[in-house]
Structure formats: C-alpha cells, structure tokens
Amino acid sequence: MKDGTGRSAVLIQNPFGRDHLDLGGAWPVIVDPRAPGLHPPLPGRDISGLVQGRVAGGGLELVEFAFTNARTLETGRDWNTQQAQLFFYESAIWHRRDFTAGKKSGRRYLLHFGAVNYRADVWLNGAYIGAHEGGYTPLAFDVTDALGEGDNFLIVKADARLDAATVPPLVTDWWNYGGIKREVLLLSLPDTYIRDYWIRLDDLATRRVRASFFLDGAAGGAEIELSLPELGETARAVVNDAGVAEVDFHTEAELWSPHRPQLYDVEIRCNGETIRDRIGFRTVERRGADILLNGEPVFLKGISAHDESPRHDGSAYGIEDARALLSLARELNCNFVRLAHYPHHQFVARLADEIGLLIWSESPVYWQIAWDDAATLQNARAQVRAMVERDRNRCSVVIWSVGNETPPTEPRLAFLKALIEEVRQLDDTRLVSAAIYGRDRDVRQPVVNTIRARLLTDAEVTEGTKTPVRDALLAAGVDADDRAALERLALAPRLSIDDPLSDYIDVIAWNEYFGWYYASQWAATVPIDEATMARMFLDLMGELAFDPAADKPLIVTEFGADAKAGFEGDDVTMMSETYQLRIYELQLAMLARSRKLRGLSPWVLKDFRSPLRTHPVYQDYYNRKGLVDETGARKKAFAYLQKIYDRLGDAPLQFMERKIAARDGPG
Ligand code: GCB
C-alpha cells in the first residue's frame, strides 16, 4: 500500500443528475485507533492484505483483522452519533463495500463521495485509487480501469485526525464529525463527459445568460445542447480542444429573488448523456456600501448555522435535515443564512434556491491556520475551489467567504489573498468576504479607554479602584488628569471596523461579542473586576455604533450569548434565556446605529456540538448560543428576532433605530 500516491480527485457537477449506482448504506468497518502508528505493520496486521481483500485463512495463518462479522456503520452520516463508543472518536476507520457493477465498454466510471472527513484513502479491488483531504467538499476518482464486470469490493479508510497544518486545524468550536459523511455514488458516464458546467445570468440589463462547460475525455468537436424547456430557449456550443465550451444567449426568464424564487428546468445534452438541473437567474453586486440583488439594495436579515439539524444529534444528512434547518430560518423571517464554518451539504443550497433564501458559504479556514505552510495553502485552495465549483450554479449563494476570525498578520493576509484570487478566478459574479474580528486598536483599545474614563469621572468609584486605572490610562498616552479630555473620552466611540483584508474583500464581515466575551477578556487591562466591567459594557452597548472606514457594506456575521433552554434566569445572569434576550435587544439597538450595516447573521440558529463547551450543567458539549436548542425548543430571543425581522419587511435595520427600545423590545 502506498499512501498519498494514486490519482487526484476531481469534482463532478450534479452527481445525482447522472446515471449512478448508490453505494450508501450499512458497510462493515474496522475501527483502527492506532492505524497511523503501524509503520512497519505488525505481522498479523499487514494492511496491504486488508486492502487486497485478504480474509483469515484459518489454521496457521495469522490475520488480526476482518470485515466478516465486523460491526457496521451507515455511510452518508457521521460515525460519532451512530454508536456511543464513537462519540469522541477522531482517528481512522476502514470501510468495505461489496457491490455488483454492470460495466459497459466505452463508458467511464467515477466513484463520487459527497464528503469524507477528514482524509480519504480509496482502494478498488485491491488497487490503490487515491487520497483526498478536506472533510466538507465532494471528491471523485475515475475508476474505469480498476472496476470489474460483476463483483467488486471497495475499501475506504476515513481518517478524522486534524493537526496544526490541516484545514480546519485541530482546535475548532465545532464537532469534528468523522466518516464517509455524505453520499457514495458510482457514476456511469459517456467516454467524453461533462465534468462541470456553470450557468448564470451574466448581465442584468440585457438578460444575457452565459453557460460554460468543462469536459473530460477527448473532447474537441463534441456538441452540447442546453435548453430551458419552459421558456422554449435552446443554445448550442461546440467544445474546443481544451475541453471547454461557452455559449451565451438572451433569456426571457423571470428573475429569482427571495420573494419570488423562480427556478427553471435546464437540460444539458452531450454524447448521449442528459443532465437535468433547476437554475435561477439573478445578479448580485456591490455599489459603495450597498449590496444589490437584481440591481436593488437588499438588507440581509440573517442567522448563522452549523450543518446540524434539530431532528437528531450529529451532523445533518439528507434533504429533510436541510429542510428542518432552513424552515427554522424562514420561521425567523430571515432572507439570509450564513452557513458556517465549512461548506454544508449540497442539499442546503439547492433547497435555499427553491424556497428563496440568500446564502453565505464559507471555507473551513478558521482561527489559527499554518499560514506559512505551502501545503496547507494548497489544501485550502483546493477546498475553496471545490466549494465554489460545487455550488456556483446555485442562485441562492451570494457571498463566498474564505475564512473565519483569522489574525490580522502578514502571513495570513498573503494566504487569504491567494484564496480570494482563487475565488474570483472561478466566479466573478458573486461577492467575496471573510469574517474578521477587528484589530485591537480599532475595537478593544477605544472601548477600554472609554471604560477607564468613565471610571475616573464617576464620583462613586473609590480612589483605590481609580489609581490603577489612572496609571493604565497614562501608560496608554492619555492625560488622565485633564478632566475635559476624560469627559470627551467617556463618550461612546464610533468604532471603525477594519482589517488589512478590507481592501481585498467586497463585504466587511465582523464577528463581535459585546455582552458576552469582551467583558471577561478585557477587564484585566482596564483594570477592573469582571462583574463591574460587564455592567459597564451593558450601559455602553446602549450608545456604541460601528462602521468600517472603507466604503463597503458591513455585515455583523456574529454576535450572541449562551442560554440553556428552559433556564429563565434574569438579565444579569449569564447562560439564562433572559440574559440572551437582553443581549439581542442591546445588540440590535447598537447595530441599528451603524450606517453601513447591510445585514446581520447572529450566532447562532441552533445549539451545536462543540468539544470546547464542557460545563456539565449548561453545556454538556453544546455551544448554547442557539436561538433554539438541539431539540428545536425556541428560546426567548427567537421570538424577539423573529418580531424585529417581521417588522422590518424589506427595510434595513437602521429604519428601526428609534423603535428598538433597548429594554422593551420593538414595542
Ligand atoms: C466565534 C466563532 C464561532 C464560535 C463562537 C462562539 O467567534 O466564529 O465559531 O462558535 O465565536 O460561540 O464562541
């Protein structure tokens, strides 16, 4: 067995729309926690035997593995929530699938996986096919040569281990669900086949549709026919020697929007294959600080979500999970969902097309990545490419995000710039962003100085408390004895949200945690005790506002507070529903004062699994910032945000600036 050789994976557009054999279901498995340490292999555990289908010979043959009588796991789902023993499991599992294939000559066969987390190694009938890294995007291998007529056996090793060089890295605030998590299909294709296609409205004024086709095989001269039967529109293109065909045509299609999510049947014919899809036509652009959908400004009433469903524990699978999640967003009166922090199941964007939700799609570049590692960049680039190629036919997707909360350093800037270029090369019809947390000097320092000035100008605060605060202010270069200067400083600042990345992205996306993390994170630098700091923060939130310096739209892509559903508490008790509600009230009042705000996606729709959230009473391995808990039970803040979004209609949040009374809600 040679790891890491073999062919590289490709991406097939619309695999379910091809002639296929579904290989999903219960597969026998070998759970192999120490697989990585077996070099050289122990005598009875020679893996080359395993992948070649060796079975115990009995008698005097030493074989310490077998798929016969082994436990089974369902593919298409994570392994962690199928068996209690695997809940925390993050190593390797070997899977075997026996199947019968009717192989026809002149056809190409591709083995497609919707996603395998994190690394997949694949063998077919003992031949090593290839490897793939990245747990959230599809991969496919051409297995035409290895496939046999009749009986076949497939071995897949899924290895969920993450480290400092992987994408995402080891430490994330979500569950590293392992396994062959999405579909496994054996595709049967013409010898020369359309690997990928991209159909989009290219120009709003002339209603010009452009379609690009990318073929595999000896392609030059092949003919492609594209038709929209409901509109009676047909276009033809001839494939060039590079295997690419392009065509554009005028369409009478109605524009797609969240209010009217009009989709059209599309049929693509080439070399005897007919691929069917449903496509909507719309444009998205930025003009100054506005986001334009079909040329009209749109305000994104959003929510962030992980790829988990309120229907069951574990990562989401199947269309009903996608429906459950997006229905919750619709119930909340959203027109926008931020799919964090990795590409979700392909069903999600397809469903969003159908029901009319705008989508933010994100790569798993998260927190602390190995910015200087060329292999990590190559890996991230491949994952970004797969994200864009998989979903660029989805009109619901309006923003590609290359990462989340990354430090504003030079190596990170170079890394993310490379990813942004990659996205723009693949897709020049959408906006590009990345969620940032803001520079210290733009956010923390001004807020901390305001808190210091408020303490020093408050007659009730004791001298003992004031002395270290005065020293800290002096050290920050402020004349702490100039009363007038202190009073000016005590006024709430208007924070400029910036990042070196601002020049390269279309939308400034900011994650902020006023009312949650900041008081405990920053109290020591004031210095003041955490509870006093937290109280002062609540006051300050009633006055703060933000705007990026750049003339670009701002979306606050995260804010929130944990709340354990059913724990009513009060508005000065963290982890309670009442406190979470209070933070939503204060946040919305604060955001409504921000002139360039063009959307928000609070954190988060549903409580989600996280290894970082271990509090036995409130969390038990759930991040509790959901507006609903894991069973779908609505918390108080759900109804509040739902009401605000309802009242807003199509208007931006700023229209409600005066109506959002911070304490009483919209009234
Ligand atoms: C963040 C991260 C998100 C976390 C969230 C939290 O800033 O972007 O992944 O889950 O905060 O709850 O801490």
pLDDT in tens, 364-400: 999 999 999 999 999 999 999 999 999 999 999 999 9
User: What distance in angstroms lies between residue 162's CA and the mean position of ligand 1's atoms?
Assistant: 19
Of 511, 601, 609, best ligand 1 pocket probe by most atoms within 8 Å of the beta carbon? 511
Question: What whole-number distance in Å separates Cα of residue 266 and Cα of residue 264?
Answer: 6
18: pLDDT strictly greater than 90: yes
Distance 603 CA to ligand 1 centre (A): 7
Ligand 1 atom 10, closest CA: 173
Distance of CA 608 from the midpoint of ligand 1 (Å) = 11
Strands 300-305 and 597-600: parallel
| pLDDT at 39 (0 to 100) | 65
Q: What is the pLDDT of residues 154-178, one digit of tens each?
A: 999 999 999 999 999 999 999 999 9
Model-level pTM greater than 0.85? yes
- Each as own residue / partner, the long-range contacts of residues 196-199 (CB below 8 Å, 24 or more positions apart, any chain) are 196/11, 196/12, 196/13, 196/389, 197/13, 197/14, 197/268, 197/275, 197/393, 198/392, 198/393, 199/226, 199/266, 199/277, 199/279, 199/393
Q: Among the atoms of ligand 1, which is closest to the Cα of residue 610?
A: 10
Strand-pair category, 208-216 with 244-250 = antiparallel
Closest atom of ligand 1 relative to the 517 alpha carbon? 13
CA R_g for the chain:
27
Helix H or strand E segment including 180: strand 179-180
Asked if 301 contacts 291 with a C-beta cutoff of 8 angstroms, the reply is no
For ligand 1, is residue 603 a contact (CB within 6 Å)?
yes
Name the band, by pLDDT with cuts 50, 70 and 90, for residue 4: very low
Best probe residue, ligand 1, of 174, 362, 365, 603 (max atoms within 8 Å of C-beta): 603
User: pLDDT at residue 2 above 80?
Assistant: no
How many residues would you count in the chain? 667
Kindly report the number of other CB atoms within 10 A of residue 187's CB atom.
22
Residues 88-145 have pLDDT tens digits of 999 999 999 999 999 999 999 999 999 999 999 999 999 999 999 999 999 999 999 9
3-state secondary structure at position 657:
coil
Residue 578: pLDDT above 60?
yes
Nearest residue (by CA) to ligand 1, atom 13, is 173
Cβ of 79 closer than 6 Å to ligand 1, yes or no, is no
